[in-house]
A and B are shown apart, each in its own frame.
Chain A
């Protein structure tokens, strides 16, 4: 029977393996800590810009956006997170009636961040920002109105 299975052998092997374990934790006791102090490092925190935090509709300085109210994003969304209300406006020169966006509601609570809406948008009117601080107390506050 090898030394390892004898009575003394098990004790020696046990003590050796326990000691190596404790050596590792002791070294860890004195190494630099890896914790990121979240609230303190808010200014310097760098989140990858591809991170999908919340859907936003960028507006240029005069406050109009690129959305043409085609409803493609509403259709491709798997669980009905986006709801667009439009109204038809007769254009003066051409006289044709054109759909204009009235309200662009986006339910952040139901979104699953699958980016199908952004891929489907022909005009690139909506995109994901990496703003992750969205916790709220009231469920209704999660329904955001994206167009100004």
Chain B
């Protein structure tokens, strides 16, 4: 259960400033909510990055025509993007936010989809085939002295027309998916970056509100498909904690091992894509050669290579195959030898070190303020591993080192990932030989209903902290289900560190941040 303290709008700003000064410097999650009669609002989950204690603050406004809340984007830099998302889905205007535009949907989209009274019929929002009108001006809302909301069109032009603007657009080999950088260039230097996401926004959170709990499990695999197992583990854990369902020791072992295999698979892909983006196609192929071995093990046990569909509420879909332990040990030994090859071919190469060292530096405070968890945060010296902060499954009982580098540049971000592969292998080797006996799945009723209340669970995904928030009103389908995107803080950080770099550096930073776009857009 999660205790949320509601705050009035008047003292909302002051409590937030007070909390920020008290050390709550990590805005973990911001959840837009529509409580029908009680109005529209947002829940902020804050955490102190040193003592790891969390507080949950919520604020709401009953005015549904033009709801408006004070912005906190000056306290936490990631709030700028979170608030744009809540404005996009709920229509809540944040006063003081210097650039409030829709984050995901098109500029000419009618309505705010996550509101409970949103009409999803095709006539209101048909498939518009002409390309989206580009926004010239940023928009800022401010309260006029006579209390009515005024839209002050800030004269801050996003991209001056006369500049040399280039679209590293939705279809580009190096954007790891469909992300759209709208750059203004000065020769090779990047003057201004404007990142557009939403090209793969599938409205998963709206779909989850009309699906039963077992049906929502399948969506987590398709959020960040490179940490499919961890995402699904988070959702299952959240539902099981809410139901008070105890999972057997064997399932904890299996889930931890499969999580670590999925993490190695994702880090190998991160290394391969970074090598390909920087021109070393051979580095890409070597990374994929090892990754195929993991995919074989995954397919043997779960039936799926990339999307495993393996975690279910109460345990796992099917028991592990007899040869599983043997294959995993074989793979671990082979990977330890092969990783030497990556360092020789790509990482220690003088061309790569010159191109990656000192490029896209993210300081520790910025990383915390952006909430950039995962390898990116640890490369900037911030110990943000959920497995250490809030241990779950077997991570409390397994000894492993949290890799911390302090350089904060693209070079360190890759080193963190490669060393984490070795740590994951170390974890697997401690668990693989003593998987206890027991049944792999505890029986659950066909219709699963969660008790009233708000539940959260968070897991260390492959590229950051993946959180699940469920508000249930006691019936079959969740009232509101929110997934913390691991990629959105990375995009917010990229927005800042990519200013002033060269085009080639932009590609290097993008590859080193290792974001997965469907996880950002949901």
Complex: A in contact with B (CB within 8 Å): yes
A residues near B (Cβ < 8 Å) are 13-14, 17-18, 20-21, 23-25, 28, 34, 47-48, 50-52, 76, 78, 112-116, 119-120, 128
A76 touches B299 (CB 8 A): no
The answer for the CA separation of A114 and B120 in the assembled complex, in Å, is 25
The answer for the CA separation of A20 and B268 in the assembled complex, in Å, is 21
| Minimum CB distance partner of B216 in chain A | A78
A17 touches B350 (CB 8 A): yes
Distance between B490 CB and nearest chain A CB, rounded to angstroms: 27
| Minimum CB distance partner of A130 in chain B | B303
Distance between A133 CB and nearest chain B CB, rounded to angstroms: 16
The answer for the CA separation of A20 and B341 in the assembled complex, in Å, is 10
The answer for the CA separation of A115 and B304 in the assembled complex, in Å, is 11
**A21-B344, A119-B312 known, 13 other contacts, Cβ within 8 Å:** A17-B349, A20-B348, A21-B345, A24-B341, A24-B344, A25-B282, A34-B292, A48-B299, A50-B299, A50-B301, A50-B318, A51-B303, A114-B309
Distance between B77 CB and nearest chain A CB, rounded to angstroms: 35
**What residues of chain B lie closer than 8 Å to A128, measured between beta carbons?**
303
Distance between A14 CB and nearest chain B CB, rounded to angstroms: 4
B344 touches A20 (CB 8 A): yes
Q: Binding site of B, secondary structure by majority: helix, strand, loop or mixed?
A: helix
Distance between A122 CB and nearest chain B CB, rounded to angstroms: 10
Could you write out 5 A-B pairs with CB less than 8 Å apart? Answer: A20-B344, A21-B348, A52-B309, A113-B309, A119-B312
**What residues of chain B lie closer than 8 Å to A25, measured between beta carbons?**
282, 345
Known: A13-B350, A115-B317, A120-B446. A23 touches B214 (CB 8 A): no
A76 touches B309 (CB 8 A): no
| Minimum CB distance partner of A49 in chain B | B303
Among the listed A17, A23, A34, A50, which residue makes an inter-chain contact with B348, where contact means beta carbons less than 8 Å apart?
A: A17
B401 at the interface (CB under 8 A from A): no
**What residues of chain A lie closer than 8 Å to B160, measured between beta carbons?**
none
**What residues of chain A lie closer than 8 Å to B353, measured between beta carbons?**
17
Per-residue A-contact encoding for B339-363, CB less than 8 Å = 1, 0 else: 0010011101111010000000000
A50 touches B302 (CB 8 A): yes
**What residues of chain A lie closer than 8 Å to B348, measured between beta carbons?**
17, 20-21
A115 touches B309 (CB 8 A): yes
B350 touches A114 (CB 8 A): no
**What residues of chain A lie closer than 8 Å to B214, measured between beta carbons?**
76, 116
B318 touches A78 (CB 8 A): no
**What residues of chain A lie closer than 8 Å to B318, measured between beta carbons?**
50
